[in-house]
Structure 1
Amino acid sequence: MDISEKIAGEITISDIPGVTIKKWREEFGISQMELSKFMDVSPSVISDYESGRRKSPGANSIKKIVDALVKIDESRGGHLVRRYNSGIPSDALLDIKDYDHDIELRYILTKIHGTPCSTANLKRNIRGYTMIDGIKAVLKFSYAEYTKLYGWSSQRIIFITDVSIGRSPMIAIRAHPLKPAAVVYVKPDNVDELAIKLSEIENIPLIKTDMDHKSISAVMNSLR
């Protein structure tokens, strides 16, 4: 089930559909004004649905609301849609995407201003990326969810935010049978010597960047 079906289903079966509409609108970070403008309706229509002043929307109205939420998110880069469609709704997953072609890791480093921290070989291609909140991932991800981080291919970059010294992420990566093509620490406080050593043992490039994760997502999403 993709995110559109999930949202439409929840609204349809809800005893208070207006509250469910509001929940999803806020989850997408979309204002009533923005949603109404995209749907070409008065802001009062959205407000009346959410407050219960207007009768429950029919199937056609629900479809228009859901389509608008999804298309607005896609116009912003589609991060939330991809997160939910990945099967990992946890907010520890910040972004995920697969490519249908190879992209050179060295080229990506120039776009994200990445600096290699280890001597692992950088000559490799990437077929996707996943961005996770390092602290939330440790606290929330199950083993099955961790596997889903690799999308369609393990030939991908794992971006990790909220890194203090970076030891735990590399230990987790070494312990798991699936290995990424590269690991990038996003604005780390420091890079621990053990993390560097594990990177070299596994021959997984360990890279750091001072770009923020939203800027990185924008860059990675734009790669063709």
Structure 2
Amino acid sequence: FSRLYHLSPAASKKRATELLEQFSLTDAAKRPIKTYSGGMRRRLDLAASLIVKPKILFLDEPTTGLDPRGRIEMWEVIQGLVKDGTTLLLTTQYLEEADQLADEIAVIDHGKVIARGTSDQLKKEVGGERLEIVAEAKDLKQVAEIVGKVSGGKVLVEEGSRQVSAPVTTGSRALIEAVRSLDDLGIHPLDIALKRPSLDDVFIALTGHVAEENKPEEGEVKSRRGRRK
């Protein structure tokens, strides 16, 4: 592969050795590629693209099909590249991945950029924190009333998951007030939390549908990592 870039045999060998070590592939260097795991093949593909140390690198769905461990390993590789000064343009259907890796995110739906900004900026567009309470089915009505008083916003009741939620603007104060009200009524929630919107919430709010990993034309997230100037 290095010959395409007119590297000398000595330079090619040196660079290959460096990349195999960088991507933890040294022990597998003499094995047939067909014996590599999916994660190893992805790392090898990325290593090959770094033969000439590009300043800008495009990665299209680099972790698709990897198991959780392989995905985390690839994230570490990507973060290392950025730390070393490479600017990356990454396309992904995994919104958690964009949240973890990107300095800047562009949300694309049906071929159009519909939003752009940092993860925090996009989450703020959707709204602030949400108070979420999971309770026994018999308590849902009273819990919804409490959440409505604390929130002042639209209350969402999901009977299947027995969850009541609503947006709040007072943060932990709303949580404390809800806990006190529940205690006054003798209601013991199964779970109670104050949560910020996720990028999944952002995507749904912006597009009206979830990100479908098997249908990239339906919605896509592009993210960029690199040195700040």
TM-score range, shorter chain: under 0.3
Q: Which has the larger radius of gyration?
A: 2
Which has the larger helix fraction? 1
- With normalisation by structure 2, the TM-score equals 0.27
Task: Between the two structures, name the one with larger relative contact order (CA 8 Å, sep ≥ 6).
Answer: 2
Which has the larger strand fraction? 2
